[in-house]
Chains A and B, each alone.
Chain A
Amino acid sequence: MRIGVFVCHCGTNIAGTVDCAAVAAAAQQFPEVVLAVDTPYACSEPGQRAIIEAIEQKGLNGVVVASCTPRMHEATFRRTVERAGLNRYMFEMANIREHVSWVGRDKKLNTFKATDLVRIAVEKLRYNRPLTAKSFAVNKRVLVIGAGVAGIQAALDCADGGLETIVVERTSTVGGKMAKLDKTFPTVDCSVCVLGPKMVDLAQHRKIKLYAMSEIADLSGYVGNFEVSIRRKATYVDWNKCTGCGLCADKCPSRKAPDHFNELVGRTTAISIPFPQAIPKKASIDASSCLHFLKDRCGVCAKVCPVEAIDFEQQDEVVKESVGAVVVATGFDLLDIRRFGQYGGGRFPDVVTSLQYERMLSASGPTGGHLKCPSDGREPKSVVFISCVGSRDRSMDRAICSGFCCMYTAKQAILTKSHVPDCETHVFYMDIRAPGKGYDEFIRRAQEEYRTNYVRGRVSSVYPKNGRLAVRGADTLLGTQTEVMADLVVLAVGAGAAEGSRDLAEKLRISYDAYGFFMESHPKLKPVETNTAGVFLAGACQGPKDIPASVAMGSAAAGKVMALFSKERLESDPQVAQVNAVRCVGCLKCLRTCPFGAIQEVQARDGSTKAQVIESVCQGCGVCTVTCTDRAIELQHFTDNQLLAEVNYLCRSWMEKSPA
């Protein structure tokens, strides 16, 4: 073999703590290496050109690049060597940046380590074989999970692009958090007025199929060909018949059901439509509050429904769909207010979450848009907002900034004044994060035009005093304690991953971070991709973000799906398992272990049983390889020989005797 080694400086990123020239010099001595050089930026245009030229001039048939992580540039360099006529699998990368130069302090030790990593890449490369991808047909339908503003945007863009789009939403209406907001920053325009038309478009688009009150039960398959099972939860109303007239809710005698849409401010009926602009506008029964289910009586709704839509016998139903790509847009949820005992969360009725406050401000909310203290219905004359509640707080294991609360707090302070002009507003804050277009100006307006008193300092406690709430905080700019009397305290509760996110991630085989937010493939360059091909992210499920960012990400995910579907066929990854029929004894242990059902039993010509890998299904995990005691099934590109070559070198390198 004729191997070329390129050791990248990455400016000073690598060269600062690794002697790249020395690594190249050492590599020059490695077996079958005919060329080893260091290069300032391997991925740059001249860097890539140099690789291509070297392949052509030196007749290289294998290339090692020692640079950053392969998770960053493996695909780049595979394309590079391919352009020079090499098979893209005749290429290996040694990660001497993330795993060496950025984590080791000692230049000598780093240089040793980098040299070793280059060596094992060479050792592996010597066993590499050219692999060719097979192509397969793509199912050009897309699944969008979660129909908040991000999911709606992604679905509309996909559908407008001509794709069949399936939308699965867990609650009985689309819209997500945005549908609950009163007005939105920084324009202070009515939230539902902007979102409503999009919700209607979603419902009416002939390319979109909406499953509300539904969740993902299971997802199998791979990019281009996923099979999804959707659990449609029983609503006890036949939605094919229901016209959304609302008669049933008017007559329902059970009026104490928890009102989830209104964030538990106020109560609703056991059968209800969450809000006037709900999409789909269909009634559903909350069995835990319905007298029929609790006491086996009533049935009023069934009697009044003009179209006989009530069906107490309805059961959950699982439907199956096939799609080629998935957009996850499941958003976020606020932390449980009861975790904030020092603020009386869950104990004092006049301490509410920011989202509850949105509902209290909303004209379609439980108070009809009149600000009232939940305890006794009086109009508040002093509202205190507390920022960073459960955010940037290591004592709660939540170091993150929730990103949008600074902005919505300013918005809520402004709206408070427009509801009750003589109401005092105070905001306790630590820092103000307002980096968007027009955002800082908005904060200034809250302070200057709307006379909101911003106090820099955290709040230590909220306690009842003379029938009101005393809020005790610090004013760190003055170096004093500050106590403010409030009628209503609004907590800017931190954003966490949507309930059930971890379960969903496991079904989709994507990763999540310490807070349950889904992990993007690369923090800068692949913000909407995940590490599972064909699964994309949009909106706050990836981390807290405001509406403009969520919408942009929804469109970006749709763009990614359309780019994926722009080809008629996709190439499968040839790094799959392969059975050596001569060695295979037909024990089928591999078939039983494969997590993807990628192995089938076949009859050999002599009638004996053999295992066979279905290449389009195999995901290349290599679990089967380990199972097979006869070494008959091997994972291409990660064969035993290749991995052992790496192990052997690392061991051999210090088994050999020193010369004297």
Chain B
Amino acid sequence: MSAALAYYPGCSQTASAREYDLSTRACCQTLGVELNDVPDWTCCGSTPAHATDHALAAALAARNLAQAMDTGASNLATPCPSCLLALRTAQSRCENEGFKGRVEVLLGRPATLSIRTRSILQVLMEDLGLEALAEKAVRPLKGLRVASYYGCLMTRPVGLMAFEDPDNPTAMDRLFLALGAEAAPFALKTECCGAALGVPRKEAVLELSGRILAAAEESGANVLAVACPLCQMNLDLRREQIEGYTGQRSTLPVLYFTQLLGLALGLPEEALGLGLHNVGTRPVLDILRRTWASEDVG
């Protein structure tokens, strides 16, 4: 793996999802995937922009695509599915010349958006592949039973994202299996957690996220893996709120898939931001340490 990737972190990754950014960068470095930050990147507009006006949303996203293309990159990756959706929606809508014209007026410059956009998960699965990833893993994730939660936007809209079976995606499950963990039969892989409505309509998010946590617990998982900063925020940061609302206690740690991958790659906890969670990640580390001690690795 050598081809350089334009990297679009997205706003959350500089703040509430810092550990996603940290672990992504750390994993990619170890795996030899070179990430070049999109120069001067700005917000993709996210749901609020899209919900307000399509041209405005597309212009905010397009600016970043243009910035990336100015560097000559032909591939872009972002860890955040919501950012990816915003970028792809802009690309797809701009295939309509009339719409593209409107976007260019807002943008104040031509919008060439032909760069290939993917999620970090997709890049790792497609460009490296399971075998190569497993080969680079120095410490097995044995003992972990992972419920992989993909959230709603990783596979939907089906036509636009074109990633995995929208009812039963398996990319993360296959990854963790390859890294030595067990994949828990988790039923709500692509159910929505309430996304950005967490602030204005909290009760909805608490109910939905509560249901996801309950299903993960029922699957016998000892860790819940996510690939989206919003999902993580709702399931981890709002844990006490969920408990207060639903009355169920849960100590299930919620980790980004890149954090688990990083552990398998032998990266230190701090490099992966494992201390930045609201719900303690210690149980995961304890299980792994036991495994590694018995297998004499790590």
A 40-83 binary contact with B (CB < 8 Å = 1; else 0): 00000000000000000000000000000000000000000000
Q: Are A461 and B218 in contact (CB under 8 A)?
A: no
Q: Which of B165, B167, B185, B215 contacts A461 (CB 8 A)?
A: B167
CA distance A347 to B165 in the complex (A): 13
Q: Does A31 make an interface contact (CB < 8 A)?
A: no
CA distance A342 to B168 in the complex (A): 8
Q: Are A347 and B218 in contact (CB under 8 A)?
A: no
**In the complex, residue of chain B having the shortest beta-carbon distance to the beta carbon of A467:** B218
Contact-residue bracket for chain A: under 10
Q: Are A342 and B167 in contact (CB under 8 A)?
A: yes
Q: Are B167 and A465 in contact (CB under 8 A)?
A: no
CA distance A341 to B155 in the complex (A): 14
Q: Are A465 and B165 in contact (CB under 8 A)?
A: no
CA distance A379 to B185 in the complex (A): 24
CA distance A528 to B116 in the complex (A): 55
Q: Does A658 make an interface contact (CB < 8 A)?
A: no
A344 CB → nearest B CB, Å? 8
A 426-466 binary contact with B (CB < 8 Å = 1; else 0): 00000000000000000000000000000000000101111
Residues of A within 8 A of B168 (CB): 341, 347
Q: Does B188 make an interface contact (CB < 8 A)?
A: yes
Q: Are A466 and B218 in contact (CB under 8 A)?
A: yes
Contact-residue bracket for chain B: under 10
Residues of B within 8 A of A461 (CB): 167
Q: Are B187 and A464 in contact (CB under 8 A)?
A: yes
Q: Are B187 and A463 in contact (CB under 8 A)?
A: yes
B211 CB → nearest A CB, Å? 10
Q: Which of B167, B215, B218 contacts A341 (CB 8 A)?
A: B167
Q: B161-216: which have CB < 8 Å to A?
A: 165, 167-168, 185, 187-188, 215
Q: Are B165 and A464 in contact (CB under 8 A)?
A: no
Residues of A within 8 A of B187 (CB): 463-465
Q: B115-152: which have CB < 8 Å to A?
A: none
A519 CB → nearest B CB, Å? 32
**In the complex, residue of chain A having the shortest beta-carbon distance to the beta carbon of B167:** A341
A107 CB → nearest B CB, Å? 36
**In the complex, residue of chain B having the shortest beta-carbon distance to the beta carbon of A342:** B167
Residues of B within 8 A of A464 (CB): 185, 187
CA distance A44 to B70 in the complex (A): 76
Residues of B within 8 A of A347 (CB): 168
Residues of A within 8 A of B165 (CB): 341
CA distance A115 to B172 in the complex (A): 68
Residues of B within 8 A of A465 (CB): 187, 215, 218
Q: A393-442: which have CB < 8 Å to B?
A: none
**In the complex, residue of chain B having the shortest beta-carbon distance to the beta carbon of A340:** B167
CA distance A463 to B188 in the complex (A): 8
CA distance A461 to B218 in the complex (A): 18
B 256-296 binary contact with A (CB < 8 Å = 1; else 0): 00000000000000000000000000000000000000000
Q: B211-231: which have CB < 8 Å to A?
A: 215, 218
A190 CB → nearest B CB, Å? 38
CA distance A461 to B215 in the complex (A): 15
CA distance A233 to B89 in the complex (A): 55
B283 CB → nearest A CB, Å? 24
Contacts A463-B188, A465-B215, A465-B218 aside, 12 further interface pairs with beta carbons under 8 A come to A341-B165, A341-B167, A341-B168, A342-B167, A347-B168, A461-B167, A463-B187, A463-B215, A464-B185, A464-B187, A465-B187, A466-B218
Residues of A within 8 A of B (CB): 341-342, 347, 461, 463-466
| Cβ contacts A to B, 15 pairs, < 8 Å | A341-B165, A341-B167, A341-B168, A342-B167, A347-B168, A461-B167, A463-B187, A463-B188, A463-B215, A464-B185, A464-B187, A465-B187, A465-B215, A465-B218, A466-B218
Nearest first, the 3 A-B pairs at minimum CB distance are A463-B187, A341-B167, A342-B167
